[in-house]
A = this chain, B = another copy of it.
Amino acid sequence: MKKITIGEAARRSGVKVPTVRYYESIGLLPAPSRSEGNQRAFEPADISRLAFIRHARELGFEIEAIRTLLTLQDDPHQPCASADAIAKARLVEVEQRIRSLMALKAELETMVEGCGHGRVGQCRVIEVLADHGQCTHSHH
C-alpha cells in the first residue's frame, strides 16, 4: 500500500491542506503515521473520513455535531437515534433561517425598489435603516 500525502488527501477529499491539519489538531481526524522525513502518511479510511466531514460541513453541521456523528459511525451497532436527532435539529435550524431570510429579503426589496437614486437625504435605503418602524415585519 502506498502512502497518501496531505496534498493528495486534500485533493481527493476536497478539504484544503491547512484544514486537514486543523481537523487533526482538534482531534476530528486521527493523527496519521509519519514518513521518515516526518511527513503525514494517510490511509484510504482517512480520505473517507475527510469526505464525510466536508460533506457534513457543507450541509452546515457544526464541528461538535460532526464529532458525534463520526463517533456513531465508528460503531455501526449503536441505535441511530442521536444521529437522526442531530439531522432533525439541523433541519429545524435551516427552516428557521430560511423564514428569517425571506423576511429580510422582503425588507431589502422594499428599500432597494423604493429608492429614486437621488441624494442621500432622500434615499429610502438610508431612511429605512434609520427607522425600523418603516419595516413591514416588526421582527427580523
Contacts and interface: CB of A to CB of B under 8 A. Distances in A.
A87 to B, nearest CB: 5
A15 interface: no
Nearest to A107: B59
B108 A94 contact: yes
Contacts of A84: 112, 115, 117, 123, 125
A40 interface: no
A97 B97 CA distance: 10
Given A87-B112, A98-B105, A123 B59 contact: no
A29 interface: no
Contacts of A60: 104
Interface string A73-113: 10111111101101110110011011001101101110110
A2 interface: no
Interface in A42-81: 48, 51-52, 55-56, 58-60, 69, 72-73, 75-81
